[in-house]
Chains A and B, each alone.
Chain A
Amino acid sequence: MKSSLIAAVIAASSIATFAGIVAAKDEAAKDALPPGSVSHAEGLEAWKRIEAVVTHPRCANCHVDAKAIPIWTPAGETKPRVHGMNIHGGESRIGAEAIRCSTCHMTSTQANDPAPEPPRAGIDWQLAPVDFIWFGKSGAEICAQLKDPKRNGGRDAVGLLNHLRHDASLSGFIPRGWEPGAGRTTPPGTFEDHVKDMALWGAAGQPCPN
């Protein structure tokens, strides 16, 4: 009973991820810059801006380790704390083993409400895969992870752009990082700035800081 229920929840959550992939690939192809057309130095500059985004609490707080405890940075605060209510994402990363993330974080394309109402997204709320740990990691560590297909979902530089556009096509977590609801801070720049920086970084050969 338990395992079948958990499997059903995970399956239902996965269906949406296949939608819109083709359209996202077309768009990402337009975003991509020719490999080698951007200098190493420009690529590193782009990485600095990417790093400021991916280390922002809005982006890093759900990129946590296998303990699957999401992090909160409540509106008006800067210090991270563990998610209230004894929440564990579990092995499923969507809370299927205990209480689903979507008990409170609705799957919806409607706009986010002001803090402290929980943000929503067009994809079932979930933690990022364990390999994609960002919370508590340095910029150099995140950079190494992001460019490593073994730890980034098997994506090359264009594949990462596909990922951004696909997520956006579903009103997913990435563009919503910049639209989290009134009262919440946002990562620097805009989603489109982030796509451009990822294209620059990719075309420069994905350089990482030492």
Chain B
Amino acid sequence: MIELTVNGIKHQVDVIPEMPLLWVLRDELGITSPKYGCGVAQCGACTVQIDGAAVRSCQAHIGDLAGKSVVTIEGLENGAQHPVLQAWIEHQVPQCGYCQTGQIMQAISLLELHPKPTDQDINEVMSGNLCRCGTYPRIRTAIHAAAAKMAEK
């Protein structure tokens, strides 16, 4: 039995230690915002935060996560009022939407590190999150907008 905290709630899961966090979240806990894209850390669709850092959940084996705190988009402080989510909605970023929860979780980590990111900062941090719909210009715009919103507070 492995215990971890997801979105502030403690869970115990009885799975093999090699099971990726992504499987645990989706299949064991019913938290479906992290998406299976590639399974090999090359697309970013499964990005969540573990102890405050963005991580590809397809790579994090549950056996290494005992006692860790995981946050998915469902558990963001302020919920839908989170400035990054608000910016995403205002700028109508998603097209098909499949990669967008991963994009948002990575963008939140970016803004924690660079509250006023330059385009170069965005390129460096967001390049591992792919979008087959090509929403990159809107992602960039929304990140700048979210940074401005967060600076107002």
Q: A residues within 8 Å of B by Cβ?
A: 1-2, 5-6, 9, 84-88, 97-100, 102-108, 110, 116-118, 120
Contacts and interface: CB of A to CB of B under 8 A. Distances in A.
Contacts of A116: 40, 42
A106 B64 contact: yes
B19 to A, nearest CB: 11
Interface of B: 17-18, 39-42, 47, 53-56, 59-61, 63-64, 106, 112-115, 121, 123-125, 127-128
Contacts of B128: 85-87, 99, 103-104
Contacts of A102: 53, 55
B64 A110 contact: yes
B66 to A, nearest CB: 12
A126 B53 CA distance: 16
A207 to B, nearest CB: 42
Given A102-B53, A117-B40, A118-B41, A110 B17 contact: yes
Given A98-B124, A108-B61, A2 B40 contact: no
Given A86-B123, A104-B56, A110-B61, 10 more contacts: A1-B115, A99-B124, A100-B53, A103-B41, A103-B54, A106-B60, A106-B64, A107-B64, A110-B63, A116-B42
Given A1-B112, A1-B115, A118-B41, A103 B55 contact: yes
Contacts of B54: 99-100, 103
A99 B54 CA distance: 8
Nearest to A120: B59
Main secondary structure of the interface of B (DSSP, over half): mixed
Contacts of A88: 124
B18 A110 contact: yes
A120 B60 CA distance: 10
B116 to A, nearest CB: 10
Contacts of A107: 64
Interface centre among A6, A107, A117 (most CB of B within 10 A): A117
A100 B56 CA distance: 11
A98 B64 contact: no
Contact of A118 (B59, B106, B123): B59
Contacts of B39: 117
Contact of A106 (B47, B61, B114, B125): B61
A103 B63 CA distance: 17
Contact of A86 (B47, B61, B113, B124): B124
B64 A108 contact: yes
A84 B64 contact: no
Contacts of A6: 113
Contacts of B47: 103
A100 B49 CA distance: 12
B114 A2 contact: yes
B95 to A, nearest CB: 21
